[in-house]
Amino acid sequence: MNERPELCVWDDEGSLARAVAEYVVRVGSEAIASRGRFDLALAGGSTPKAAYRLLQDGDVGQAIDWSLVRFFFGDERCVAPTDEQSNYKMAKETLLDPLQVRPYAVFRMLGEAEPAEAARAYAETLQHELGVEPVLDLVMLGMGADGHTASLFPGTDPTVEDAALVRAPWVEKLATHRITLTPHVINSARSVVIAVQGTAKADTLAAVLDGPYRPAEYPIQIVAPRDKRLRWFLDRAAAARVVPLK
């Protein structure tokens, strides 16, 4: 990787979740103050759930006017929105419904549709809502133990040269298609936050942050937002093998 991005390490999953939630509120408040709205792409998987629950309860989430927030998604599984595997379902239950977010402020990827058509439709949505060159205020990401992020998996050849906005790659290891924002859209965001927790990811995280730049093997290494507003939020378990900065 290029120079080391900013790492924030927290003692445990609970303090990591709170830090992520507070960061989302901080970036969102800045976006609303300067542009009157906050365009946020949510992460899927399990790590963000605790942060989403904190955002919808009083002491963290109250600092932002949620009626000025529009919710997008970083990726989606090719399942119905009611499926337990759906990132939309997870966000709906842990964040969107508790906040009573209006349906018109939520832009989900159509996991139930034919994958290539879902990717095309989402690219159209991004351009309709954000302009021809869509710029999100914040993209929330996680990292898999194989070094994937969003649904940019090893073996799917994600590249920064790909001018597409959304892809629906076949993911061999999962034997399924996924729908995902491309590195182009992620790196066009004003801010990106990656939250990683747990011992299971410590070796991969060390390879991603301290090892050679091999994005074909570790697609998350592609994440490098243009104005360098990338934050890694880690718990001590995940950061255990990362070389401490001098």
Query: Applying CB under 6 A, which residues contact ligand 6PG?
Result: 43-47, 74-75, 87, 142-144, 148-150
**Residue 67 or residue 112: which is nearer to ligand 6PG going by CB?**
112
- Shortest Cβ contact with ligand 6PG: which residue? 142
Distance CA 189, CA 84 (A): 29
CB of 11 to ligand 6PG, least distance (A): 19
Tokens 């410590």 label which residue? 202
| Count of CB atoms situated within 10 Å of the CB of 56 | 18
**Residue 39 or residue 235: which is nearer to ligand 6PG going by CB?**
235
CB of 246 to ligand 6PG, least distance (A): 30
| Count of CB atoms situated within 10 Å of the CB of 97 | 11
Distance CA 25, CA 68 (A): 12
CB of 196 to ligand 6PG, least distance (A): 8
Whether residue 76 contacts residue 42, with contact meaning beta carbons closer than 8 Å, is answered with no
Q: In the numeric block, which tokens belong to residue 38?
A: 């906050």
**Residue 70 or residue 178: which is nearer to ligand 6PG going by CB?**
178
Tokens 């999962």 label which residue? 174
**Residue 30 or residue 112: which is nearer to ligand 6PG going by CB?**
112
**Residue 43 or residue 130: which is nearer to ligand 6PG going by CB?**
43
Distance CA 152, CA 11 (A): 28
Whether residue 238 contacts residue 202, with contact meaning beta carbons closer than 8 Å, is answered with yes
C-alpha 217, offset from chain centre: 19
Distance CA 137, CA 27 (A): 8
**Residue 45 or residue 98: which is nearer to ligand 6PG going by CB?**
45
Distance CA 170, CA 229 (A): 30
**Residue 50 or residue 130: which is nearer to ligand 6PG going by CB?**
50
CB of 1 to ligand 6PG, least distance (A): 18
CB of 188 to ligand 6PG, least distance (A): 18
Ramachandran region of residue 9, left (φ > 0), alpha (ψ -120 to 50) or beta?
A: beta
CB of 47 to ligand 6PG, least distance (A): 3
CB of 74 to ligand 6PG, least distance (A): 6
Distance CA 81, CA 87 (A): 8
